[in-house]
Amino acid sequence: MGKSKKRIARYGRHTRVREKVKGTGLRPRMCVFRSLQHIYAQVIDDSKGHTIVSASSTDPEIKGDINGGKKLTQAETVGKLLAKRASGVRIKQIVFDRGGYKYHGRVKMLAEAARKGGLKF
């Protein structure tokens, strides 16, 4: 059994985006991954190759609040948490990497919540 056509297409889009989008120490990259049940986001410094902060819908800090909620609400909560954690380490500006997904639905909700939380991109 091989990978689905949609997944292969997403990998191709993600590869094209990653050729152009790079995170630095001044403007790290915010990467988004969404699965069927959860959404994950992390802020990465590509020059050093390590993750600065991360948040997900499986995070114990928010797991109780979003358990059984709508996926859009989960994405919004994760975006707010990521923005809060990023501001805690003095990150104001980022580069947004949507991971090959359309800027729609959960990805858009997460991005808008991160913007409301104080991140600029």
Per-residue model confidence as pLDDT tens digits over 40-71 = 999 999 999 999 999 999 999 888 777 777 99
Strands of the 50-56 sheet, one edge to the other: 50-56, 39-45, 29-34, 95-97
Asked if pLDDT for residue 96 goes beyond 80, the answer is: yes
Phi, psi of 75 (to 5 degrees): -65, -40
pLDDT in tens, 64-77: 777 777 999 999 99
Whether CATH 3.30.420.100 fits 5-116 = yes
Percent of the chain with pLDDT over 90: 67
Q: How far apart are CA 30 and CA 23, in angstroms?
A: 8
Total-model pTM? 0.87
Asked if pLDDT for residue 9 goes beyond 80, the answer is: yes
Cβ atoms of 27 and 93 within 8 Å: the answer is yes
Asked if pLDDT for residue 39 goes beyond 50, the answer is: yes
Percent of the chain with pLDDT over 70: 98
Asked if pLDDT for residue 1 goes beyond 70, the answer is: no
